[in-house]
Amino acid sequence: MSDAADHDTLKFYRANAETYAQRQPRGTEQMTGFLAALPPGGSILELGCGAGYQAAQMLAAGFDVHPTDGSAEMAAQAQQRLGREVRTMLFHELDADAAYDGVWAYACLLHVPRDELASVLSRVWRALKPGGWFYASFKSGEGEGRDKLARYYNYPSEEWLRARYAEAGGWASIDVARDQGKGFDGELASFLHVMVQKQS
Ligand code: SAM
């Protein structure tokens, strides 16, 4: 496996897909803003879709959703929920060009090794149509680390994250919002919600 994916993190999601699938949907506020920015019925690539709850919400809102996840076991959970194909795809395997109106990546790019993040973000930039929108969330901090479940986190500061986005491509705007919430490990964490628009 390439260094662009963290082996222990994927091992966790492969082994715990069924339990993780019991989690309740999150990110309603962020999704409302994201969907409002897109053309009605527009095409959305979802990265790290987990058990497919958010894909189900975006499909119900009438969008053309393409869910993906790097864990085949998690993709199978999503496929069962959605009744449609869910592609097993690692972030660094994304190779689309100007194909999507939006890319949705809720609480998943936080697992990309710090050295690889700008490269993955540039793949997302390339996959978007001009003027397309991209949402992603991260657990904030001051340097990489692992949680008690052995999952890797890049724990960015806002400043560090803005620099990685700027390195990755040309954006018309980069908006960062903050809140707090509990992760699957039960620990309270500070989140950075990043919404950007590709230059037209
Ligand atoms: N977005 C979903 C949600 O909010 O419920 C799942 C979030 S979960 C915290 C992170 C997801 O990212 C897992 O489903 C995991 O399999 C996936 N993932 C982790 N590393 C990945 C990688 N390198 N490529 C693709 N998916 C990955």
Fold held by 7-198: Rossmann fold (3.40.50)
List the domain boundaries for the chain.
7-198
Amino acid identity of 129? Answer: K
Centre of ligand 1 to C-alpha 169, Å, is 23
Closest Cα partner for 117 from 151, 66, 152, 74?
152
Centre of ligand 1 to C-alpha 120, Å, is 14
Burial of 86 (0-12, 13-18, 19+ CB in 10 A): buried
Q: Which residue has the higher pLDDT, 67 or 3?
A: 67
The span from the CA of 42 to the CA of 46, in Å, is 13
Give the number of C-alpha atoms closer than 13 A to the C-alpha of residue 15, restricted to the C-beta side: 9
Q: Is the CB of 10 under 6 A from ligand 1?
A: yes
The span from the CA of 45 to the CA of 68, in Å, is 8
Identify the pLDDT of residue 3: 64
pLDDT tens for residues 142-151?
Answer: 999 999 999 9
Residue nearest to atom 26 of ligand 1 (CA): 70
Tokens of 143: 């340097």
For residue 91, the ligand 1 atom closest to its alpha carbon is: 24
pLDDT at 1 over 50: no
Identify the pLDDT of residue 25: 82
Q: Is the CB of 153 under 6 A from ligand 1?
A: no
Centre of ligand 1 to C-alpha 72, Å, is 11
Query: Can you give the pTM of this predicted structure?
Result: 0.97
